[in-house]
Structure 1
């Protein structure tokens, strides 16, 4: 279905992604892990064609995605929707209008300028918001919502594009544990219920294990691990992150259960 073949991206003398190869044969949920600067975000941006490739190819259902231009490239970007860490919403616009912006590439310039949308699209946007548990916030300004709610609005906007692939670049990095869990559960349901492929850059191992069917580890721009969640042992994680024996998963966890367990095992003493 999706083949990434020796994908490389160089910025001057720096190689951000180095000959990355990945085959996705069927819809699944993939977590990409690795330390900051490992090339995770650049890889997703190349998949969405926000970044041009230096070498290599991306093929989806027989099409060479790296060769697409103009209208065909924009159509691919709708088919391969992107969700960002910082939400990228229009703060002063109401929630439902932000969601409807997922259809802008299908609208005329005039309707876009005057924010005119068919009633069928408005109903669909509200249905998607309802599915994500935030329909009651549809008339509010986006800036009035919490971070977790704003991220779900961003997911709803992506779903308005009716994509086959959803790329999520650190979707929970700026969220507290409770909201992180809600967002990851939403992405998992979208994969399971819609049969869409979800590829998410994640910064915690327990999150990747809990929600993903497959985990890919990147280090210095290269894919150094590609396997099942249960194969992601602490030893493998040390290799991916280039960490020593003192590497602790709990220290970087966003999973509520892990945090509670760590807190119980190492209670903070009150100052005298």
Structure 2
């Protein structure tokens, strides 16, 4: 489905991403981990075409995304939804209107100016909010919600685009452990129930192991690890984070309780993880 080939991004004389290559052959939930400045966010921004690649290519279903311009580029951004750490909601606007912003790419300028939405889109927005457990928040201003609720509104807005891929750039970095768990569970359910590819930038090893089917580790703009969560050993983590033998996973842990782990993965994955 998705192939990155020697994807590179430079800023002046600094190389932020250096010849990153990997292939995803089916919808998966993928975690990209690494220190701040490793190039994780830059990779997602190139995938979404918020930033242009300096060289290399991104192929999705055989089409080179890096070459898209104008309407084709906007169409791709609808198929490849982005969720940000800081939510990027309109604070004084009600929740359901924020969700409906996920339809802007397919609405006319006049409809956008006058905030006009078809009844079908409004009903769909409320259904998505209900699916994420926050339908009762629909009439409230976004600024009145907690951080975890706001991030679920951002996820709902992404789902309104009906995307093939959801990119999540540090979606839990500003959340407390309980809300972080709720958001990651929501992303996992979306992947499993909808069959959508989810690629999330994460700081924490425990979160990557718990929720992801595959983990990609980046260091100094390069991929230094690519494998199943169970392959993410302490030695592998030291390589990703450039740490010595004093490295402790506790420094990256969100301390999320794991009692409900069977709900996160399929029974087969759960059994394999604890074999």
Q: Please report the TM-score for the alignment, with normalisation by the length of structure 2.
A: 0.93
Distance 2:255 2:63 in 1: 38
2:4 paired residue number: 4
Mapped to 1, the partners of 2:248 and 2:127 lie a distance apart of 41
Match of 2:88 in 1: 88
List gaps (5 residues or longer) in structure 1: 259-272
CA deviations 1:63-109 (Å, max 9, x no partner) are 11011000000000000000000000000000000000000011000
Aligned partner of residue 216 in structure 1, secondary structure: strand
Cα displacement (A) at 1:250 = 1.6
Contact in 2 for aligned 1:181/1:255 (Cα 8 Å): no
Aligned-partner Cα distance in 1 for 2:257–2:99: 32
| CA offsets 1:39-64 (integer angstroms, 9 cap, x no match) | 00000000000000000000000111
Secondary structure in 2 matching 1:256: coil
User: Pairwise mapping of residues 90-239 of structure 1 onto structure 2 (< 5 A)?
Assistant: 90-239=90-239
Moved more, 172-181 or 239-248: 239-248
- For residues 101-138 of structure 1, the C-alpha deviation after alignment (integer angstroms, 9 at most, x for no partner) is 00001100011011100000000000000000000000
Gapped regions of structure 2 (runs ≥ 5): 259-275
Q: Distance in 2 between matches of 1:218 and 1:77?
A: 24
Say which SS state the counterpart of residue 245 (structure 1) adopts. Answer: coil
- Are 1:17 and 2:17 counterparts? yes
Residue 65 of structure 2 is matched in structure 1 by 65
Q: In the alignment, which residue of structure 1 is the partner of 2:261?
A: none
CA-atom RMSD, angstroms?
A: 0.7
Structure 1 residue ranges, 4+ long, deviating more than 6 angstroms after superposition = none
SS in 2 for 1:218: strand
Q: How many pairs are equivalent?
A: 258
- Mapped contact 1:207–1:255 kept (Cα < 8 A): no
- SS for the counterpart of 1:257 is coil
**Deviation of the 1:255 alpha carbon:** 3.1
Counterpart of 2:262 in structure 1 is none
Within 2, Cα distance between the matches of 1:257 and 1:107?
Answer: 42
CA shift at 1:256, angstroms?
Answer: 2.3
